[in-house]
Amino acid sequence: MNSVNPFKSRAFRLSFFLCLPGVFLAFPNPVLQIPFFIFLFFIGLNLIAFKASSGAEAFRWSLTTAGTAYALGLYWIVVPVYVYGDFPLILAVFCPLLLGFVLGLFSSAYVALLYISQKSFSWFWLGLFAGSLWASIEFAREFALSGFPWLITAQAFSVWPKTIQSVSLIGSFGMGFILACAGLWLFCRKKMSAVFGVLLITVVLGYGFLTGDEEFSGPSKDILVVQGNIEQDKKWEEEFQLKTVNKYQELTLAGLGDKAPDLVIWPETALPFYFQEQNRLSLMIEDFVLEQNINVITGSPAYEVLADGSGYKLHNRAYWISPQGRIIDHYDKERLVPFGEYIPFSEYLFFLDRMVASSVDFSPGKYTSPMSQENLAIGMLICYEIIFPGLVRDRVAQGANLLVNISNDAWFGRTSAPKQHLHLSVLRAVEQGRYIVRSTNTGISAFIDPRGRVYKDTPLFKDSALRGKVHLIESTTFYHRWHWPIHWAFVGLSALFLLVHFLRSGYRRA
């Protein structure tokens, strides 16, 4: 087996052409989404683990394969980097490849560890090891290298909400455990392993069909979501700011009807100016809210002057404006987008400054408790904060009975990114047993119930005023209550398998 040119290996070529459609077609894409294709990805990775001639070769092969597959699924990154980051196209194409290969490092760790352990266990135990190892690696992806749990395996099935109901018990990473375990059992091509694999998939994906279509009760709120559909490259121009304010007011008036809703939600940075300052535009917003007697949550950039007066900090902020036209609460984004809102290691990567929306890096917020009024406690999540299970879990732990995600996906154009983003929100709704209301600038704005059903949504790039009813829920899911034991059980189980392997290897050598 030639490790210099892996494409001379039939096993490598086969794994490569299994993994690429396994990622690209399993998740939202411009062609066709088939969630079960995620098993092609696992089969491709397992093939490398079983056919490589060394651990180093297994790592290199899987990095090439998985990195390319992830880059294909993240093709949309080219759009914000090329169109709005003003990078040359050749460099913009390099960006999804770079991020894809970063994600590929985690898959390569899975393959390398599976390679070295394969001879120590029978197919049954090897499947459990593969599952626990994969769940541990996806868990690590939430935190390592700034964190980017996008294209996690459970996300593939979000398009079919009934199939992901098990995440309310074991979380998204727990579902990744099931899929990886079943994927290895199917790969083994033994009669019993195939039976076990199919049975496991059937039970886990079929769990939602047994629980029925639950209807939710309790206190309800009538909410209006406004999708302004403002062009990203114009919204910050001074002459366009007035048009933006007028447009949000007009769309809101169109959605109010005869009875005002309990809450109106505008997207992330819907107000492309500093709303905290007293100026013509901010006074227009305050007068409008006062006149219509409505509660409004809206996004706007904000700043905070440093105590010593030496400078200021920028924040990506959500304001709650009361019917009296006053700011009664706010939330500053806690988890910032690397290279979008700040530059990691900026002293070395200074040449990437133009990718940040401001000439100064944004700063994370510190006060993350729910924004509350009467019986409503909103767990606010701005933009891609919704993709982090731990962050959403924290909001519920702090008392949120409704989750609100405001975002601006205009950066990504007519790509698959907005739908991939929506599908991650669906996972969070089921994990935490909460309604989620999404308000985005260009779509997809949506209402999602605690079973992951998107019962109202908007098309991309269309002016919209979407109104829906949500219920305020206080109870928590099994996963919410037991998340740490579940996650660390996967890590502990992986460590135990590795320990047994090394002990057996030492015994055989002796």
Q: What positions carry a catalytic annotation?
A: 268, 333, 383
Cα–Cα distance list, 327 to 124, 126, 251 (Å)? 59, 57, 21
> Which amino acid type is present at position 153?
T
* Packed helices 123-141 and 89-117: angle between N→C axes, nearest 10 degrees: 140
H helix or E strand, kind and range, residue 177: helix 167-187
What is the secondary structure of 2-65 as a DSSP string? Answer: -SSSGGGSHHHHHHHHHHHHHHHTTS--SS---GGGHHHHHHHHHHHHHH-SSHHHHHHHHHHH
3-state secondary structure at position 66: helix
HSE-CB of 114 using CA atoms within 13 angstroms? 35
HSE-CB of 56 using CA atoms within 13 angstroms? 3
3-state secondary structure at position 103: helix
Phi-psi sector, 405: left (phi>0), alpha (psi -120 to 50), beta: beta
Strand order in the sheet with 464-471: 327-332, 312-321, 296-305, 263-265, 220-227, 464-471
Q: How would you class 482 by CB atoms within 10 Å of its CB: exposed for 0-12, middle for 13-18, buried for 19 or more?
A: middle
Alpha-carbon torsion 183, 189, 190, 191, what sign? positive
Is the Cβ–Cβ distance between 48 and 11 less than 8 Å?
yes
Is the Cβ–Cβ distance between 369 and 397 less than 8 Å?
no
Name residue 468's beta-bridge partners.
223
Q: How would you class 415 by CB atoms within 10 Å of its CB: exposed for 0-12, middle for 13-18, buried for 19 or more?
A: buried
- Distance separating alpha carbons of residues 353 and 274, to the nearest angstrom: 22
- Distance separating alpha carbons of residues 25 and 201, to the nearest angstrom: 19
What is the secondary structure of 134-148 as a DSSP string? Answer: HHHHHHHHTTGGG--
Q: How would you class 462 by CB atoms within 10 Å of its CB: exposed for 0-12, middle for 13-18, buried for 19 or more?
A: exposed
